[in-house]
Chain A
Amino acid sequence: MATPTRTAARTTRATGPRHAPPPRLRTPRRQRHSLARPRRSVPLTLLTGLVVLYTLVPLLWLVISATKSQEGLADSFGLWFGGDFSLWDNVKETFTYNDGVFTRWLLNTLLYVVLGAGGATVLAVLGGYALAKFDFPGKRVVFAVVIGAVAVPGTALAVPTFLMFGEMGLTNTPWAVIIPSLISPFGLYLMWVFATEAIPAELLEAARVDGAGELRTFVQVCLPLLAPGMVTVLLFTMVQTWNNYFLPLIMIKDPDWYPLTLGLNSWNAQASTAGGEPVFHLVITGSLLTILPLIAAFLLLQKFWQSGLAAGSVKE
C-alpha cells in the first residue's frame, strides 16, 4: 500500500528541483526499456522456439504423412514428402472406405458435441449465474459438492455409471455419451466467476424495479453480458466431447454409434487382428480430418476464449 507514495518520491528526485510542479504518479515515458516495455531478446525467442518445434513437429509429421500412400509411409522419410502425392486419394478413400462409415462417425461426433457440449454450456451458464447472483438455501452445499466432485477421478465413476445406465437401458445409445457430457464442473466454476464480474448488482435491481420477471431479466439483460464467458465454456466443453474416448469406449459397442475417436482407434486396431486389412494411411488422414475443425475453432475464436480465461484466473 506504500507503493504509490514511494513511486512519487523517487520520481520527484528524478525530475529535478524541489519546487517543480508535482509530478504525475505514472512512470515517466522516458524509460522505454523498462519492465513494462522490455527490449526484445533473440536468445529467449530461440529458446521458446524449441518448445514450439516440439509442439508443431508432430503435427507437421501428420500433415506430411497424410499425403502418402500406405507404401509411401513405409518407404520415405517421415518429415518430408514422398514421391507420390496421394492426399486427395487418401481423403476420398477415408470417406468411402467401409461404405462411408467415417462420415457416420463424423455425424455421431457432431451429434455428441452439439447436444453434449451445447447442453453442458447451457447448464453451466444457468448454474453459474445463480451461484453468482442469488442467495438461496443450500447454496454453500451445492458449491462444496461440485468442487469436491472435481477431484473424483472420472474413470472411478465410469463402471458404476455404465452399470446404472445398463439397467436404465441407455447403454449403446447416444444418450449414454450425451448425458454424462452435460456436466462440466470447470464450466460451472468459470461461469460463476465470470457472472460475478460481468453483471453489476445495480443492473439486476433496476430490471427488477422495472417489473421484469427473473427469466426475462436473465435472457434479455444478463445473457448478452455473459457472452465471452459462454464462448470460452462452449469451446472447452466442445474439445472435451469431441475428444472423448473413455466414455464412448465403455458405453458404445455398436460401431454405428462410434464417435471419430473410437472409429479411428478401431481402424488402427484392425491391422493387429487376424485377417484384418492394415489401413494406416486412412488412420493418419482420418486423424488429420478429425483435428482440423477444432484447430480452426481455436484459431478463429482466439479473442473470445483468451479473454474468458483471463477473467477466470482473476479469482484464483
Chain B
Amino acid sequence: MATLQSAVVGRAGPPPPRRPRRSWTGWGFVAPFALVFALVFLAPIAYSIYLSLFQDRLIGGTTFVGLDNYQRALDDPEFWEGLGRVALFLAVQVPIMLGIALLVALALDSGRLYGKSFFRIAIFLPYAVPAVVATLMWGFMYGTRFGLVGDVNDAFGAKLPDPLSPDLVLASIGNIVTWEFVGYNMLIFYSALRVIPHSLYEAAEIDGASQLRVITAIKLPAIRGALVIATIFSIIGSFQLFNEPSILQDLAPNAITTSYTPNLYTYSLSFNGQQQNYSATVAIIMGLITMVIAYIVQLRGMRKGA
C-alpha cells in the first residue's frame, strides 16, 4: 500500500515549475489586485488593531488604553458564551455536513448510481440559493403558523417540538447551514476524486482489494488535500456564523440574543451600541482564534500519513 500512496502523492503534486526570467513585468498584472487587496484587507486589519488599543471615554475623549480592551473581552461572559456556542456548532455540524458530502461524493465517483449527473447538480443546487432566502425559507417551514411543522402538527395531531425554541434553534441553524453547503463540499471532494489516476484502481483490482479497501487505501489518502481545505473553510464559516441567526432573529426573537454568536456580538456592539473599539477587539480575537485553529488543522491534516 505504501507504493500506491507514494504513487498518488507523486502524481497529484504540482509539476516542476519552469523558471521564467525574473523581472518587474509581472507586477503590471498583479498591481490592480494588490492595490484593491491592500485597501479592503490590509488597511482594515491595521485599522482594527489600531482601534482595539483605544477607548472612547466620556471624559477625555479617545484615549490609548493598551491591552485593556483585550482584557475586557477575556473577562466578558457574553463573548465566551457566543464562542462556546459556535464551537459546539463546529463540533457537531461540520462533521455531519462533511460526512454526508464525502459519502455522496464517493457514491457518485463509484459509478454505481443511476442518473449520476442529475444527482450531482440536484445536490449542488442549494449553493446557488442566497443565505437570506435559505434562512427565510427554512424559517417559514420551521414555523408553527404556516410552516411544515405546523402542518404536520395539524394533520397528525402530533406535537412536534418548536424548532425555533431556544433549546432547538442552534440545531435548526445547523440544518440550514448543512443544507446550503453540503453540495458545495460534495463537489470539492468529487472533483478531487475524479483526478485520481485510473491505473491505481486497476492495480488494486488485480490485488483483489475490496471496494472499502480501495476507498480507505487509495481514495481517501488521494483527496486528503481537498478534505483539509473543506475542513478549514467550514471552520472559518462556523466561527463567522452570522447571516442565519441574524435573519432568524425576526422569527425567533426570544431564542437568539444580540450576542448569540461572536460575529452577531461585534455587529451589535458597533452598530447598536456604538462601541467600535471594543467591537474591533472582539473581531481581532475571533480572527486570531480562527487562524490558529485553521493552521493546526492544516498542519495535522498534511502530516497524517505523509
**A interface residues, Cβ below 8 angstroms from B:** 1-4, 6-7, 10, 27, 31, 34-42, 44-45, 47-49, 51-52, 54-56, 58-59, 61-62, 65, 73-74, 77-79, 122-124, 126-127, 129-131, 133-139, 142, 145-146, 148-164, 179-180, 182-183, 188, 196, 201, 214, 218, 239, 242-243, 245-246, 249-250, 260-262, 264-265, 268-269, 271-272, 280, 283-284, 287, 290-291, 294-295, 297-299, 302, 306, 309-310, 312-316
Contacts and interface: CB of A to CB of B under 8 A. Distances in A.
Contacts of B112: 38-41, 44-45
Contact of A44 (B110, B140, B205, B283): B110
A157 B203 CA distance: 50
A152 B225 contact: no
Interface stretch (B62-70, B74-82, B120-128): B120-128
Interface stretch (B87-95, B157-165, B190-198): B190-198
A250 B271 contact: yes
B39 interface: yes
Contact of A7 (B41, B188, B203): B203
A292 to B, nearest CB: 10
B33 A291 contact: no
Interface in B24-79: 24-30, 32-34, 36-37, 39-45, 47-48, 51
Given A152-B291, A287-B137, A313 B191 contact: yes
Contacts of B141: 58, 61, 78
Contacts of B257: none
Interface in B95-153: 100, 104, 107-108, 110-115, 119, 121-134, 136-138, 140-141, 145-148, 151
Contacts of A314: 12, 195
B259 interface: no
A7 B202 contact: yes
Nearest to B244: A245
Contact of A179 (B40, B140, B247, B286): B40
Contact of A74 (B18, B145, B179, B200): B145
12 contacts: A2-B3, A48-B108, A61-B137, A79-B151, A127-B33, A135-B26, A136-B27, A149-B37, A153-B287, A160-B47, A295-B129, A297-B128
B171 to A, nearest CB: 15
A160 B124 CA distance: 34
Interface residues of B, number: 123
A135 B21 contact: yes
A222 B75 CA distance: 56
A55 B122 contact: yes
B191 A123 contact: no
A153 B286 contact: yes
Nearest to B291: A151
B203 A239 contact: no
A309 B24 contact: no
Contacts of B44: 157, 160-161, 164
A55 B24 contact: no
Given A149-B37, A316-B192, A280 B140 contact: yes
Contact of A123 (B25, B36, B122): B36
Given A55-B183, A246-B242, A249-B246, 6 more contacts: A7-B202, A41-B112, A123-B36, A126-B33, A159-B279, A196-B17
B236 A127 contact: no
Contacts of B126: 55, 58-59
A153 B25 contact: no
A40 B51 contact: no
